[in-house]
Amino acid sequence: MKPSSVQGTPRILRALSVEYIPRAVQEAVNAASCVDMHTHLYAPAFGKLGLWGIDELVTYHYLEAEFFRFSNMTPERYWQLSKQQQADAIWQALFLDNSPISEATRGVVAVLNAFGLPVNSSDLSEARAFFRAQTYDAHVSDVFGMAGVTSVVMTNDPLDRAEVSAWMNGVDDDPRFRAALRLDRLLREWSDPWPLLAAQGYDADDRGSERSMKAIRRFFADWCERMRPLYMAVSLPDAFQFPEETVRGRVLREAVLPSCREFGLPLALMIGVRRQVNPRIRLAGDAVGKADLRALEKLCADFPENRFLVSVLSRENQHELCVYARKFSNLMPFGCWWFLNNPSIVEEVTRERVEMLGPSFIMQHSDARVLEQVIYKWKNTRRTLSKILPEAYGLAV
Ligand code: RAT
Ligand code: ZN
């Protein structure tokens, strides 16, 4: 497996004397174009599924979580508001009544700045007028250009009704957007995927029977042909165990892993999320827990023909992940996910990974849910890399 983001200039840097390294690194990092390997963005063909513009930026669930810390408004009342009213309430609470100094609020300020829009205005009308004047397709190219991103990988769940109908209507090939086949509805314990599979004509049951495994493998084969995904992916709780004598354990072992091998796809495991500790705040209500990475050890050791892309959500699991990556070459750590995607933690985690793995990992993905977020998320990633890499190269010469 070849890591993508941190490769490209070592020989040049080795030939430089120490004092030129920071500048050379900065130039290389700024000039590099990125493939954003995990986002929640959508190609224009998916219509309304693709989120963009000021109201979506301001109501990003990272900001909603912060809003409820400041506002007296109950979540129940907030969910009754229109998107625009929600954005107005958040703008007032986080940007006018308080200082926008958190990572998520600074991100909105950075996007406004990037488009030359006012950052201290009492309302969002000018920003709304600007975004209304854009068409999504052309705007995507502009935004990717500003972020230095050539393409992004979407998150595509073949059991999600809205997605299924978009795919069934035919999705034009768009080289800016690649697919990833997301397995959360199939593998997560909260979901009941069987009626959804049956509705698509796959006769699977909740007992993990042989017939069921065959049906799920047919489901994968059909969706791989339709989506042409770059990888399969699933987010998993901190309590994730493998092997596990449950239906999920069986589906993973007897359907997911063999299909990944058959189609030459890595499996992305995003481990450590504790879903809905506060359901009142919906998407913002998920938390984190330290996972037992022996499950990962078992997967890497027992399935050497499978490749695993792995991100762990807990800061406490990061060092262990690096150690496992040194043991198993079929394990590729990627990104600083969700609550880790803050400059101080990205810096710490990336430094640790460079020290333990050299450039053999994927430094970052944006996880953007709203198109324009790639601008600030990749800008911040480049800034952090420009700080870390000169130190690493400086110590190497
Ligand atoms: O970072 C996020 O936006 C989270 O809500 C999740 O979507 C997470 O990234 C995931 O892919 O499960
Ligand atoms: Zn995500």
Residues 95-115: tens digit of each pLDDT = 999 999 999 999 999 999 999
pLDDT of residue 188: 80
Does position 136 have pLDDT exceeding 60, yes or no? yes
Residue from 118, 122, 128 nearest 57 by CA? 128
What per-residue confidence (pLDDT) applies to 208? 86
**Atom 8 of ligand 1 has which residue's CA nearest to it?**
338
pLDDT band at 11 (very low <50, low <70, confident <90, very high): low
Taking residues 40-56, report their average pLDDT. Answer: 97
Going by CA atoms, what residue is nearest to atom 1 of ligand 1?
338
The ligand placed nearest to the CA atom of residue 341 is: 1
* pLDDT value at residue 6: 44
Cα 105 from Cα 115, distance rounded (Å):
16
pLDDT at residue 3 greater than cutoff 70? no
Task: Indicate which atom in ligand 1 lies nearest the CA of residue 235.
Answer: 12
Atom of ligand 1 nearest to the CA of 286: 5
Please report the pLDDT score of residue 9 as a whole number. 54
Spatial distance between the Cα atoms of 24 and 396, rounded to a whole number of angstroms: 15
H or E, element range at 234:
strand 232-236
Instruction: Output the pLDDT for position 218.
Output: 98
Q: How confident is the model over 155-212, as pLDDT tens digits?
A: 999 999 999 999 999 899 999 999 999 999 999 876 789 999 999 999 998 888 999 9
Ligand in nearest proximity to the CA of 377: 1
pLDDT of residue 124: 98
pLDDT at 1 (0 to 100) = 43
Q: Averaged over 362-384, what is the pLDDT? A: 98
How many CA atoms are closer than 13 Å to the CA of 209, on its beta-carbon side? 9
Q: Is 367 in the pocket of ligand 1 (CB under 6 A)?
A: yes
pLDDT in tens, 293-311: 999 999 999 999 999 999 9
Query: Whose CA is closest to 221, among 229, 209, 233?
Result: 229
Can you give the pLDDT at residue 320?
A: 98
pLDDT digit string, tens, across residues 331-358: 999 999 999 999 999 999 999 999 999 9
Tens digit of pLDDT for each residue in 225-277?
999 999 999 999 999 999 999 999 999 999 999 999 999 999 999 999 999 99
Q: What pLDDT sits at residue 18?
A: 83
Distance CA 360, CA 85 (A): 45
- Number of other CB atoms surrounding residue 63 within 10 Å: 24
Average pLDDT over the chain, rounded to an integer: 95
Per-residue confidence (pLDDT) for residue 4, from 0 to 100: 45
Query: Is the CB of 130 inside a 6 Å radius of any atom of ligand 1?
Result: no
- The contacts of residue 239 (CB under 8 Å, 6+ apart) are 289, 291
Q: Give the residue, out of 235, 314, 377, with the most ligand 1 atoms within 8 A of its beta carbon, to mutate for a pocket test.
A: 235
What does the pLDDT average to over 361-365? 98
